[in-house]
Copies of this chain bind each other. A is one copy, B any other.
Amino acid sequence: MATQQRRERERAQRETLIVTAAREMAETDGWPAVTIRRLAERIEYSQPVLYSHFAGRGAIIDAVALQGIAELTEVFRAARAGAAPGGELAAVVQAYLDFSTAHPALFEAIFTLAEGLPFGADAPETLKAAFAELFAVFAPLAGDRDPDALTEVGWAAVHGLAALDRDGRLRPDLREQRMAVLLGLFAKD
């Protein structure tokens, strides 16, 4: 009876151990270095144990991505809460860009590696919460435009900046001016 619960507790504990280990390894050595073998050695279990928790390497990456999305949401919330009135957009956009440079491996997991995360209607709550944060910033600027569409375009613009900048495809010396241009595009006039 009670042992069953203890086991489940220990299993859940080990599962988060795997996820955090994968994340730490990715952040220090990059995702290619996160192999099942190394992961198994790190958590001091054999490789098949990992497959009793996750369907495969991809599922582990997905789990890290989901955790990253939750953190990103929290970062958004904090940025919005700490912003001066009217400065919410700038604060959240800056938070997005800062997050991508501070946690490149996490960003990579979320936006280029994760493949098993369901989107759309049956997306996990974590994911909807992240979009809701963006919506809260962009929707007030919509005017007579569709607030959802505006939010998606705003997201795309910020995300594009983060992604292209991360790959070194934008001029570093224009970073501030890009920010100014972006804010100018969306600012309520």
A residues near B (Cβ < 8 Å) are 111-112, 119-120, 145-146, 148-150, 152-153, 155-161, 163-164, 167-171, 174, 177-178, 180-182, 184-186
By DSSP majority rule, is chain A's interface helix, strand, loop, or mixed? helix
Complex: A184 Cα to B148 Cα, angstroms? 15
Task: Find chain B residues with CB under 8 A from A180 CB.
Answer: 145, 149
> B155, B163, B181, B186: which contacts A159 (Cβ < 8 A)?
B163
> B112, B170, B181, B186: which contacts A112 (Cβ < 8 A)?
B112
> B120, B163, B167, B181: which contacts A160 (Cβ < 8 A)?
B163
Task: Find chain B residues with CB under 8 A from A152 CB.
Answer: 161, 164, 170-171, 174, 178
Complex: A170 Cα to B146 Cα, angstroms? 14
Task: Find chain B residues with CB under 8 A from A168 CB.
Answer: 119-120
What's the least CB distance linking A41 to chain B, in Å?
A: 25
- Pairs of residues from A and B, 8 with the lowest C-beta to C-beta distance, nearest first: A160-B160, A156-B160, A149-B177, A157-B157, A156-B161, A159-B160, A153-B181, A149-B174
Task: Find chain B residues with CB under 8 A from A182 CB.
Answer: 153
**Residue of A152, A167, A174, A177 with most partner-chain B CB within 10 A:** A152
Known: A120-B168, A146-B174, A185-B186. A156 touches B153 (CB 8 A): no
**Identity of the chain B residue whose Cβ is nearest the Cβ of A148 in the assembled complex:** B174
Task: Find chain B residues with CB under 8 A from A148 CB.
Answer: 171, 174, 177
**Residue of A159, A178, A181, A184 with most partner-chain B CB within 10 A:** A181
Assess the B157–A153 pair: CB atoms within 8 A: yes
Task: Find chain B residues with CB under 8 A from A178 CB.
Answer: 149, 152-153, 156
Task: Find chain B residues with CB under 8 A from A159 CB.
Answer: 156, 160, 163-164
